[in-house]
Amino acid sequence: MKIAFIGLGNMGAPMAANLVKAGHEVTGFDTAAPMPDGVTAATSAAGAVAGAGVVITMLPNGAILRAVAEQVIPSMQPGAVLCDCSTVDVDSARAVADQAVKAGLLAVDAPVSGGVGGAAAGTLTFMAGGSDKAFAIVQPLFNVMGQKAVHCGPSGNGQAAKICNNMILGVTMIATCEAFALADKLGLDRQKMFDVVSTSSGYSWTMNAYCPAPGVGPTSPADNGYKPGFAAELMLKDLRLSQQAAETADADTPMGQLAAALYETFVEAEDGRGMDFSAMLPRFEKRHRG
């Protein structure tokens, strides 16, 4: 299949490279990043999409997605699918999908989980929103770039699933980190804490698979000086998206709100920028109750 790929940064480049490896013809456009091997460079976003059956975008945010959609939709061939894999706000995802459908195109919002490692290994999870017809067209590409794709419902539902998942992740990471910091102060050995919690009712992905304490549990960014991994500023972005969505939908999310505020302080006023999101543990260790 002829594919256009717009936004070949940390995630987009390895995703596009996997499509090339699977035998697809990929034309790419990025305002700054170089093209990965095998991807033909276009000189504009509109130029990249001409003749493509699927256009994949992997961009920083909703405002940039809206701008790129304005550029590419008029140049896409009728019936082609605009598939956005970026993490953006639900409103932008739905607005872009509406615009695409009105222009005679199909649209899927399909944010991913799995990070740069998953993008390189082709093991991402896709959570998709859009019509059955649109999903059926892009599903084989999800199978190349990832290992699981869940069709979550109509347009915007992929982004809804992503931000709800990541709100749980942010809240749980904070809870795990503050519990480790409390356990330290109570004189509880970290390995014992892990051994108990990872097999008790406090277990979670953040404890069992991504333990924020160095030297405990499986290897994680904590064992590598808290180098990301999943950067604290990306967690902050996703928590802000969850709070923006909660406001629009009139949903009460006090824990998500608090997690967003804590990551905001960590990233913007403390030393969290450039650190993995699990570096909340050393942050809590340094702090006192009052």
The span of 59-67, 152-160, 182-190, 205-213 binding ligand NAD (CB under 6 A) equals 59-67
* Among 283, 246, 248, residue whose Cα is nearest residue 262: 283
Q: Are strands 124-130 and 106-109 parallel, antiparallel or unpaired?
A: antiparallel
Strands (E), the chain: 2-6, 25-29, 40-41, 54-57, 81-84, 106-109, 112-113, 124-130, 146-153
**CB of 15: closest distance to ligand NAD in angstroms?**
9
Residues 6+ apart with CB under 8 A from 171: 255, 256, 258, 259
Q: Is 186 in the site for ligand NAD (CB under 6 A)?
A: no
Residues 6+ apart with CB under 8 A from 79: 104, 105, 106
**CB of 6: closest distance to ligand NAD in angstroms?**
5
| One residue of 3, 5, 12, 94 binding ligand NAD per CB under 6 A | 12
Catalytic residue among 21, 162, 227, 237: 162
Q: Is 160 in the site for ligand NAD (CB under 6 A)?
A: no
**CB of 83: closest distance to ligand NAD in angstroms?**
13
Q: By three-state DSSP, how is residue 1 classified?
A: coil
Q: Is 9 in the site for ligand NAD (CB under 6 A)?
A: yes
Count of chain residues binding ligand NAD (CB under 6 A): 27
The span of 61-69, 196-204, 210-218, 249-257 binding ligand NAD (CB under 6 A) equals 61-69
Q: By three-state DSSP, how is residue 152 classified?
A: strand
Of the pair 84, 174, the CB lying nearest ligand NAD is at 84
**CB of 253: closest distance to ligand NAD in angstroms?**
20
CA atoms of 63 and 75, how far apart (whole Å): 20
162 is catalytic: yes
Is the Cα dihedral 234, 71, 126, 21 positive or negative?
Answer: negative
Interface contacts to ligand NAD, rule CB under 6 A? 6-12, 29-33, 45, 58-60, 64, 67-68, 86-87, 112, 115-116, 230, 234, 237
